[in-house]
Structure 1
Amino acid sequence: MSDGMFRTVSSVRRGYDPDEVDEFFSHARSMYEQGPAGGLSGKDVRRVSFSMIRGGYVTAAVDAALDRLEAAFVARSRADFVAQRGQEAWLAHLGEQARTLYGRLGRPDGDRFAPPEGRQPGYEPADVDELCHRLVAYFDTGAPLTAAEVRNATFRSRSGKSGYDEASVDAFFGRAVEVLLGVE
C-alpha cells in the first residue's frame, strides 16, 4: 500500500510513477473545480502518460481513474456547451464529429489505415476492422457500443507493411471515444 492516491505494486514490479500521477490528479482536480472552462479537456486526460518505476502505482487502478476523469471532463464540456448553445446544437456538434469518422469507416477492410513506418510495430488489421464494423453498426443502426468498449479494445500485433500504424489507429479510436462519451 501507499500513502498516495492509489495502491502500489511490489518493489520488484513496475507501475506508474506516484509523484507524476499525484501531481496530474491534483492539477486535474484543481482545473475541474476552479480552473478556467476548457483548461483541461477529456482529450488532455486521455493523452496523459506516466513514467514506469519499480514499486509504482498499480496501472489498472490509475487507468480506471483516468477513464472516469475523462468522462467527467467530457460531461462538463457537454453541460457548458448545452448551457451556451442548447441541446440541438450539441447533437449537431456530435453528428459532425461522427461524420469525420465515416471517411475511414467506409474504406475496405485491410485498407482503413496506413501501414507502420519502417520497422515500427503495427496492429492486426482484422482486429481493427472488426471494431470499425461495430462503430458502423452503432452509428447506422444503434447497435450497442460504449466508450469503455472502444477504449479497452486490444489488437494483436502485426509487423511489417501488412499491419496498421498504431498511432493512426489510436488517434482515430480516441476521436470515436469522444463521440461516444458525448452521447453517454
Structure 2
Amino acid sequence: MTTFPRAGRTRTGYAPEQVDDFFERARSAYEESTLPGPRRPDAVDEDDVRTVAFDLVRQGYETSAVDAALDRLEVAFVQRRRADHISAHGQEAWMEQVADRATTLYPRLLRPAGERFAPPEKGQGYDAASVDALLDRVVAYFDEGEELTAAEVRGATFPPARGDKAYAEGPVDAYLDRVVEVLVAVE
C-alpha cells in the first residue's frame, strides 16, 4: 500500500520503507498513549516526529507530502499530551509549563541583531538579517501578541551568507525547533 505520492522517475524522495516504518511506530505509540501505565522506551513522541530524518532515494515519497503529514502528526501528539496534562493538572498548570519553556527562549532574543548566533566556522550559513527578522517576529508574538504560527516558523527559509553576515545553521535550526515546540503547545 502506498501511503504517500511518489516523486517522479528522475526525482528523489524519502525512502518509503523508512517512512512507512516510522508512521506505523507513531500510530502504535499514539494509540497506546491512551492506555494507563508507563510509556514504552521505544515509543514515538512529538520530539521524535520533529527530528526524524529519512534517506533520499529515487522515486521515494514526495518530501512535501511526508513533511506535511509529520507536521500534522506532531500537532496531534502535542494536543494529546496537552489534553492529558490538563485533565490531570488543569489548564493553568499547562500554561505555566509552556510559559517556562518560552522563557528559555528569551536570552537569545534579547541579544542585538547580528549577534544572536555565532557565524559558521567555515563556509556558508543562514543570512543573519533574515534570521533576525524572524526572531523579531517571535519577540513581537511574545511581547505584543502579534500573529505567528508554528507553520510559519517551520516553513521559514533563509538565503545563504558567509562570514559575519551569517549564522551557523545548526544552532539556528535547533532554536527554531524550540520555538515551534512552544507555538504548537498553545495553538
Do Structure 1 and Structure 2 share a fold, with TM-score over 0.5? yes
Q: Distance in 2 between matches of 1:156 and 1:30?
A: 39
Gap runs ≥5 in structure 1: none
1:49-96 deviation line (CA, Å, top 9, x unaligned): 000000111110000000000111111111121122211111111111
Q: 1:41 Cα deviation (Å)?
A: 2.1
Matched, 1:125 2:128: yes
Matched, 1:99 2:99: no
Matched, 1:66 2:64: no
TM-score, scaled to structure 1: 0.94
Q: Distance in 1 between matches of 2:53 and 2:77?
A: 17
Gap runs ≥5 in structure 2: none
User: Is the 8 Å Cα contact of residues 7 and 13 (structure 2) preserved in structure 1?
Assistant: yes
Residue-pair matches, total: 181
Paired AA for residue 78 in structure 2: V
Matched, 1:14 2:17: no
Q: Distance in 1 between matches of 2:9 and 2:18?
A: 17
1:124-163 deviation line (CA, Å, top 9, x unaligned): 0011000001000000111011110011111111123431
In structure 2, what is the equivalent of residue 180 of structure 1? Answer: 183
State the superposition RMSD in angstroms: 1.4
Which of 47, 53, 57 is 1:53 aligned to? 57
Which of 9, 25, 36 is 1:27 aligned to? 25
Matched, 1:148 2:151: yes
More deviation in 83-92 or 155-164?
A: 155-164
Secondary structure (helix, strand or coil) at the match of 2:60 reads coil
Q: Distance in 1 between matches of 2:173 and 2:163?
A: 18
Q: Distance in 1 between matches of 2:164 and 2:27?
A: 43
TM-score, scaled to structure 2: 0.92
In structure 1, what is the equivalent of residue 173 of structure 2? Answer: 170
**Percent same amino acid at aligned positions?**
54
